[in-house]
Amino acid sequence: MTAVLNIVRRNPTVIMAYLLAFLMVVAVSILRPGFGSPTHLRSLLIEAAVIGIVALGQTVVIISGGIDLSIPWVLNSTAVLMTVLTLGQNERMIWAIPVVLLAAATVGAINGLAIAYLQITPVIMTLAVNGILLGVMAGVASGGLNIGYERGAPPPIILGLARNPILGLPAVIWIWLSLIAAITIGLARSGWGRYTYAIGNNNVAATYAGVNVKVMQVLTYIISATMSGVAGIILAGKFGRAYLGMGDPFQFGSVAAVVVGGASILGGSGNYIGTVAGALILTVLTALLPIFKLPAAAQNIVYGLVVLGTVYLAGLSRAKESY
């Protein structure tokens, strides 16, 4: 708890982000009574949980000074793989879920190894891996090789994650809450957390201070890919199926949630509590558009403006040079 309080005290932008999310919900609930109903708020929370879980990995990567643009197709591949392996049966989950998450983690490890040891720029490496997975999935699903992608389905337990409440809240929310607690304490209290900030601030200094920078980098990308995997499984359950292209909104969404949550893209700052606020704001914004009768196109514009606005107003992700 003190960890949380400390974070809030040190991060006025984060408090602003939460206030903004809260005020938006209150204002719209007054204007449109249905908006604030428990069922609608619950569905909003589930939306936010998926963005939030994806953005968890992105937060860790960005704090460490990198970026993960392979999220959309890691998520998508995991979702497809999960449905194909389980074929809608609970019994197959016992081995299928670990296999699927391990596959996602392996992709993360490949990202991290190339970035840490081959010195490939994160933007390029992860964008290339995203392209590779897109090619593999599109090629395998549409190129005539029958992997039974149409026959695959999420098993009932996964379907229930976003639907059946446990103690009044859907299981997805509980998963998210436990991840929030784990990562917040991990970043603020553990050696791993301090090292992650250290390599993001100055990896040369971190090396001299005895941090194994390369191993830490690999670890952050593994975390990110695994979180994309978790989100992929949840999303397949929420939609009731996996389809190609389901991960695409998260390319921008994950970075936006982190940036709106007050982390600097330059690394070394930010925390997950902020990202959670970012995820909530983005979700509420998306839900507002239909109310104001705005087309989906407006969502792109609003997202872009919100990112630019927060970055500018909070003075984050900005170059130090004034020239």
Binding site for other proteins (CB under 8 A): 67, 114, 118-121, 123-125, 127-136, 138-139, 142-144, 252, 255, 259, 265-266, 295-305, 307-308, 311-312, 317-319, 321-323
- Complex with other proteins: residue 125 or 223, whichever CB lies closer: 125
Shortest distance, CB of residue 166 to other proteins, whole angstroms?
36
Residues whose CB is less than 8 angstroms from the CB of residue 104 and which lie 6 or more positions away in sequence, other chains included: 74, 77, 78, 225, 226, 228, 229, 232
Task: Work out how close the CB of 92 gets to other proteins at its nearest, in angstroms, rounded to a whole number.
Answer: 28
**C-beta of 159 vs 257, nearer to other proteins:** 257
Q: Is 178 exposed, middle or buried (0-12, 13-18, 19+ CB in 10 A)?
A: exposed
36-38-42 Cα angle (round to 5): 100
Q: Quick check: helix, strand or coil at residue 165?
A: strand
In the structure encoding, which two tokens stand for residue 291, read together?
Answer: 């109310």
Choose between 16 and 113: whose C-beta lies nearer to other proteins: 113
DSSP-assigned letters across all residues of 48-90: HHHHHHHHHHHHHHHHTT-----HHHHHHHHHHHHHHHHTT-H
CB of 244 to other proteins, least distance (A): 10
Q: Which is nearer to other proteins, 23 or 308 (CB)?
A: 308
Q: Select 68 or 180, whichever has its Cβ closest to other proteins.
A: 68
CB of 36 to other proteins, least distance (A): 27
Contact status, residue 71 vs residue 228, Cβ threshold 8 Å: yes
At 322, the amino acid letter reads: S
Residue closer to other proteins, measured from CB, 86 or 283 = 283
- Nearest alpha-carbon partner for 216 in 199, 204, 230: 199
- Tell the smallest beta-carbon distance from residue 298 to other proteins (Å): 6
- Chain center to CA of 249: 11
CB 154 within 8 A of CB 86: yes
Among 64, 23, 72, which residue's Cα sits nearest to residue 280?
23
Answer left, alpha or beta for residue 116, where phi above 0 means left and psi between -120 and 50 means alpha: alpha
Q: What is the largest CA-CA distance in the chain?
A: 62
CB of 323 to other proteins, least distance (A): 4
- Shortest distance (Å) from residue 137 CB to other proteins: 9
Of residues 26 and 305, the one with the C-beta less far from other proteins: 305
Q: How far apart are CB 171 and other proteins at their closest, in Å?
A: 32
Nearer Cβ to other proteins (233/255): 255
